[in-house]
């Protein structure tokens, strides 16, 4: 069946670059795009007119929150307050437990995946907090998540997160990592089982990848096993690293090298590696404040970084700088890593942080950021058929409405969306030729039910911080309100 979608603006692809077409259309059949341009002369079976909208490739989120929002709780705390948001050593030794039941964990996943659909994400790689799990992510949970993802129609790169250690706060208030090597090996075995499971599903929308947790929470043997499995099975690895000074200090104390050097030593630093954040390289002012070769090393390896500008900004850090990493030849993709999964707001944050860091307005590389959200993600996934609207590419597309008076005037639709809008304006999402969202609605999904359910799950998660805190402070003390709340 041929389907034609027409919009005032279409972000097509010509000669290796995105190009803006006005009054154009995209025609697709099955899972593939047949035509992008003006004045399609052939007959179609279905036509959709979007009016004042920007139609573009589906957004690729490679650090997509598939959890209940926690940034709303923990992005405000000072150093002492933040210690209450980590596991205490006593909790690690004696009190570990799952906050949610297995059924509730599946509900958490579904709530999060619905949010991705509503915000124009078509391809995702999940990130979930393990803080409210007994250890990490069990195999069965990811199997269930894969089925939910298939039902909703998203393109997924999945695997259970695993680790051999966890960040804890010691009795003296210092940070450390405590290890349980057996759990690390069990988690790795589950991850490999899921790779096999994804292969057996034989569904192009479910792809198995290795998703170990933060680099400081993996012992050396688990890092090496991950690298060996990635090479042997030719699967991608995403590993959170180069993302903080505490991580850097822990790695240097334990291994005598920097996190980037450790990645290289264990065999992970190659084209199969995706690194979320990557903000603490040598050029970061908190490290050396000058380029001593880290960017060149990253570029030469072929690894991709996953830049999460909105989340980084909310935790008080920034990539220094987008243009420097790009100029070095590093492939940059994007992630959201927190709620909302709004890549448009993320691009807005990144563009303006780049201006501040460089001290000049022209440092805000809007095209570079939109490329990262599409082409950069596709390159990281080794999928040249994603991230672009051209004949032969996958029919993954998203449209954002620009027809509301609150959207303001149109000079360039990308800048209008960026400066005046948000991903909440998504009005159409298509993955592999299937419409998964239209006009803010998802077929078979009761959004009001999930709004209420999401709040219930969040409230339960918030209360559970108390038992993990070394001082067992109540949630209202760990997360004080903006203003004092008066009871009725």
Q: Residue 98: name the closest of 69, 137, 66 by CA.
A: 137
Average pLDDT over residues 116-122: 98
In this predicted structure, the answer to whether residue 117 has a pLDDT above a threshold of 90 is yes
Confidence of residue 148 (pLDDT cuts 50, 70, 90): very high
pLDDT of residue 259: 98
**What does the angle CA 162 – CA 336 – CA 230 come to, to the nearest 5 degrees?**
35
Q: Residue 168: name the closest of 277, 257, 81, 84 by CA.
A: 84
Confidence of residue 83 (pLDDT cuts 50, 70, 90): confident
Chain centre to alpha carbon of residue 437: 20
In angstroms, the CA 214 to CA 20 distance is: 39
Give the pLDDT confidence of 190-200 residue by residue, as tens digits.
999 999 999 99
Domain ranges in the chain are 1-57+389-445, 59-386
**What three-state secondary structure class fits 294?**
helix
pLDDT of residue 171: 87
First-to-last CA distance in the chain?
A: 59
| Superfamily for domain range 59-386 | Metal-dependent hydrolases (3.20.20.140)
**What three-state secondary structure class fits 152?**
helix
In this predicted structure, the answer to whether residue 93 has a pLDDT above a threshold of 90 is yes
> Is 84 in contact with 473 (CB distance < 8 Å)?
yes
Give the pLDDT confidence of 212-236 residue by residue, as tens digits.
999 999 999 999 999 999 999 999 9
pLDDT of residue 69: 86
pLDDT of residue 81: 85
Please, what CATH class does the domain formed by 1-57+389-445 belong to? Answer: mainly beta
Q: Residue 364: name the closest of 429, 302, 415, 305 by CA.
A: 415
DSSP 367-433: HHHHHIIIIIHHHHTT-TTSS--STTSB--EEEEE--SGGG---SSHHHHHHHH--GGGEEEEEETT
CB count within 10 Å of CB 31 equals 16
Average pLDDT over residues 134-139: 95
> Is 183 in contact with 217 (CB distance < 8 Å)?
no
In this predicted structure, the answer to whether residue 95 has a pLDDT above a threshold of 90 is no
In this predicted structure, the answer to whether residue 84 has a pLDDT above a threshold of 90 is no
Q: Residue 375: name the closest of 70, 138, 58 by CA.
A: 58
Confidence of residue 275 (pLDDT cuts 50, 70, 90): very high
In angstroms, the CA 41 to CA 302 distance is: 42
pLDDT of residue 394: 98
DSSP 199-243: HHHT-TTEEE-B-B--GGGS-HHHHHHHHHHHHHHT--EE--BS-
Confidence of residue 281 (pLDDT cuts 50, 70, 90): very high
**Token match 């599409």: residue?**
374
pLDDT of residue 451: 98
pLDDT of residue 269: 98
pLDDT of residue 321: 93
Q: 76 or 374, which is more confident?
A: 374
CB count within 10 Å of CB 411 equals 9
Partners of residue 168 on adjacent β-strands: 87, 176
In angstroms, the CA 141 to CA 112 distance is: 14
Give the pLDDT confidence of 346-401 residue by residue, as tens digits.
999 999 999 999 999 999 999 999 999 999 999 999 999 999 999 999 999 999 99
pLDDT of residue 403: 96
Confidence of residue 16 (pLDDT cuts 50, 70, 90): very high
Structural tokens at position 77: 């705390």
Give the pLDDT confidence of 311-334 residue by residue, as tens digits.
999 999 999 999 999 999 999 999
pLDDT of residue 390: 98
Query: Largest Cα–Cα distance in the chain?
Result: 73
Give the pLDDT confidence of 49-68 residue by residue, as tens digits.
999 999 999 999 999 999 98
Confidence of residue 79 (pLDDT cuts 50, 70, 90): confident
Q: Across all residues in the chain, what is the average pLDDT? A: 96
Average pLDDT over residues 99-120: 97
Average pLDDT over residues 105-126: 98
In this predicted structure, the answer to whether residue 173 has a pLDDT above a threshold of 90 is no
pLDDT of residue 358: 93
CA distances from 254 to 115, 200, 245, 247, 251 (A): 39, 39, 14, 11, 5
In angstroms, the CA 69 to CA 339 distance is: 6
pLDDT of residue 458: 96
Confidence of residue 407 (pLDDT cuts 50, 70, 90): very high
Question: What single-letter DSSP state applies at residue 153?
Answer: T
In this predicted structure, the answer to whether residue 433 has a pLDDT above a threshold of 90 is yes
> Is 22 in contact with 414 (CB distance < 8 Å)?
no
């Amino acid at each position: 069946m041929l389907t034609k979608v027409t919009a005032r603006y279409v972000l097509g692809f010509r000669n290796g670059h995105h190009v803006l077409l006005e009054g154009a259309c995209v025609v697709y059949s099955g899972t593939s795009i047949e035509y992008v341009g003006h004045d399609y002369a052939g007959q179609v079976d279905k036509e959709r007119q979007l009016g004042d909208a920007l139609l573009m490739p589906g957004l690729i989120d490679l650090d997509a929150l598939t959890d209940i929002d926690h940034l709303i709780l923990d992005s405000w705390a000072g150093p002492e307050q933040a210690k209450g948001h980590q596991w205490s050593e006593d909790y690690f030794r004696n009190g570990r437990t799952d906050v949610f039941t297995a059924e509730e964990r599946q509900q958490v996943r579904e709530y999060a995946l619905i949010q991705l659909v509503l915000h124009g994400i078509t391809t995702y790689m999940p990130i979930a907090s393990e803080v409210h799990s007994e250890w990490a992510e069990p195999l069965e949970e990811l199997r269930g998540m894969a089925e939910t993802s298939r039902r909703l129609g998203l393109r997924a790169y999945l695997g259970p997160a695993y680790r051999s250690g966890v960040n804890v706060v010691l009795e003296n208030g210092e940070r450390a990592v405590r290890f349980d090597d057996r759990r690390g090996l069990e988690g790795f075995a589950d991850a490999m089982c899921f790779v096999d499971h994804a292969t057996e599903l034989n569904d192009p929308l479910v792809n198995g990848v290795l998703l170990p947790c933060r680099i400081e929470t993996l012992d050396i043997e688990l890092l090496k096993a991950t690298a060996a499995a990635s090479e042997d099975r030719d699967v991608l690895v995403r590993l959170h690293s180069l993302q903080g000074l505490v991580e850097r200090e822990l790695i240097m104390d334990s291994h005598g090298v920097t996190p980037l050097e450790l990645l290289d030593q264990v065999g992970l630093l190659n084209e199969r590696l995706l690194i979320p954040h990557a903000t603490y390289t040598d050029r970061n002012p908190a490290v050396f404040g000058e380029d001593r070769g880290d960017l060149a090393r990253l570029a030469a390896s072929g690894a991709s970084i996953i830049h999460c500008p909105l989340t980084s900004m909310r935790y008080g850090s920034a990539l220094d700088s987008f243009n420097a990493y790009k100029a070095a030849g590093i492939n940059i993709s994007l992630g959201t890593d927190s709620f909302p999964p709004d890549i448009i707001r993320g691009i807005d944050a990144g563009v303006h942080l780049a201006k501040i860091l460089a001290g000049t307005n022209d440092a805000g590389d809007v095209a570079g950021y939109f490329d990262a959200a599409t082409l950069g993600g596709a390159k990281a996934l080794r999928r040249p058929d994603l991230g672009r609207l051209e004949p032969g590419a996958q029919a993954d597309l998203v449209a954002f409405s620009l027809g509301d008076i609150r959207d303001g005037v149109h000079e360039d639709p990308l800048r209008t969306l960026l400066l005046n809008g948000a991903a909440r304006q998504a009005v159409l999402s298509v993955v592999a030729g299937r419409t998964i969202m239209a006009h803010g609605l998802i077929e078979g999904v009761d959004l009001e039910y999930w709004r209420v359910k999401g709040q219930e799950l969040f409230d339960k998660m918030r209360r559970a911080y108390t038992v993990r805190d070394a001082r067992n402070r109540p949630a209202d003390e760990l997360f004080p309100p903006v203003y004092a709340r008066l009871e009725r």
